[in-house]
Amino acid sequence: MSEASETKPISRQVLEDFAAALLQAGGFSEQYAEQSAELLVWANMRGTDSHGVLRIPRYIEMVELGIVRGCAEPTVSHEFGAICRLDGNLVPGAIGMSVATKKAIGLAGTFGIGLCEISRISHSGAIGYFAEKIARTGMIGIVMSASKPLMVYHGARGEGVSTNPIAISAPAGEGQNPLIFDMSTAAVALGKIMAAKDAGHPIPPDWAVNVEGVPTTDPSKVKAVLPMAGPKGSGLSLMIEVLVSVLGGNPLISAALLEKKDNGFNGLAIAINPLAFGLPHAVVEDIAALARAIKGLPPAAGIKEVLLPGERGYLAAARRSADGIPIAAGTAKRLAEEGVKRGVAVPAEFS
């Protein structure tokens, strides 16, 4: 079967409107549905379909289960100088992380650095989205999120840690896209396994293991994903749990492993104001020079051009803006079924 027959090209606006309508019908407030849809489609636009609209049925299910409150409002639990801790009160992840990001930026404007942790939210989606928001203000961004055990801890057989991602961003000068480094601590994001399942594709044997702890190529039999670079990935994930969850007062891994409790999701946004370093010139100029230096390196054999962190995503967004977003047939089918179930008009592109 050709790639074209396995996907359906959907325009950004159609996809975003349909996503928002589905989320609202599933229990999100209108504003929260629109914000969440924007984040999901941002991921699809950049080619990160694992964190895109395929997540919608699960997001709605979480509202039905009471894991997420579609109109919850985060509250301040504690604030001290440049540090703020928020209770998400089970708010959808896109909204919770947006609140934390905005707070971190505000604190960095006052103190030179701002650190905002938010606990008890839902899946935060592609955290590069929030890192980009920070970089667009001219600041350096560091964003992380944490969840329950989903990934093998190196040397153990079953889940021990999560796929906890980290994103770092930096402004690259006027008229230039910021640098965005966004990675999961797993060999692959869990959403990519979901995407492979929707597309009917096998997965590489080094992505995940089945219930017996044996590598599998069948996405429907995945029990846990494997860490990136073995002990490096699982170690980094563990330390993100310390920074994001333990310091936030909502431990996830120990609660799951020792008490069999699911404490939800947590997130962390850090904004660093370059002006606080008192340099005689604009830091962004040096970042731009660094970007030019890397782009100027001769490509290796078989490589068309050297790409900067985040550049592949911007290139994908330009293509998808022109040609439409290719949505896996399985994902389109599930979203259409969700629309019929909830009385939401299904766009013609999904049929």
User: 141 in helix, strand or coil?
Assistant: strand
Q: Domain 74-183+232-286 belongs to what architecture?
A: 2-Layer Sandwich (3.30)
- Rounded to whole angstroms, the Cα distance separating 262 from 37 reads 25
79-100 pLDDT tens trace: 999 999 999 999 999 999 999 9
147-185 pLDDT tens trace: 999 999 999 988 999 999 999 999 998 899 999 999 999
Q: Which of 219, 198, 201 is nearest to 210 (CA)?
A: 219
238-259 pLDDT tens trace: 999 999 999 999 999 999 999 9
Q: Which two tokens stand for residue 7?
A: 């996907």
Q: Where in the chain is the domain with CATH 3.30.1370.60?
A: 74-183+232-286
10-34 pLDDT tens trace: 999 999 999 999 999 999 999 999 9
Q: Where in the chain is the domain with CATH 3.30.60.50?
A: 187-226
Residue 2 has pLDDT above 60, yes or no: no
* DSSP assignments along 233-263, one per residue: HHHHHHHHHIIIIITTT--SHHHHHHH----
- Using a 10 angstrom Cβ sphere, with 0-12 exposed, 13-18 middle and 19 or more buried, the burial of residue 315 is middle
Q: Where in the chain is the domain with CATH 1.10.1530.10?
A: 8-71+324-351
Q: Which two tokens stand for residue 161?
A: 């840690």
Helix axes 56-64, 12-25, angle to 10 degrees: 10
Q: What is the mean pLDDT of residues 127-143?
A: 98
Active site residues: 123
The mean of the pLDDT values for the chain is 95
- Rounded to whole angstroms, the Cα distance separating 255 from 263 reads 7
Question: Does domain 187-226 match CATH 3.20.20.70?
Answer: no
Residues 74, 82 contacting (CB under 8 angstroms):
no
* Per-residue confidence (pLDDT) for residue 194, from 0 to 100: 84
Residue in the block written with tokens 């600041």? 139
Residue 78 has pLDDT above 60, yes or no: yes
Alpha helices in the chain (DSSP H): 3-6, 12-25, 30-45, 56-64, 93-111, 128-135, 190-199, 231-241, 253-259, 283-295, 311-323, 329-342
- Using a 10 angstrom Cβ sphere, with 0-12 exposed, 13-18 middle and 19 or more buried, the burial of residue 300 is exposed
* Per-residue confidence (pLDDT) for residue 4, from 0 to 100: 40
Q: What is the mean pLDDT of residues 319-347?
A: 96
* Per-residue confidence (pLDDT) for residue 110, from 0 to 100: 98
Strand partners, 325: 10
43-53 pLDDT tens trace: 999 999 999 99
* Per-residue confidence (pLDDT) for residue 11, from 0 to 100: 96
207-233 pLDDT tens trace: 999 998 899 999 999 999 999 999 999
- CATH number of the 8-71+324-351 domain: 1.10.1530.10
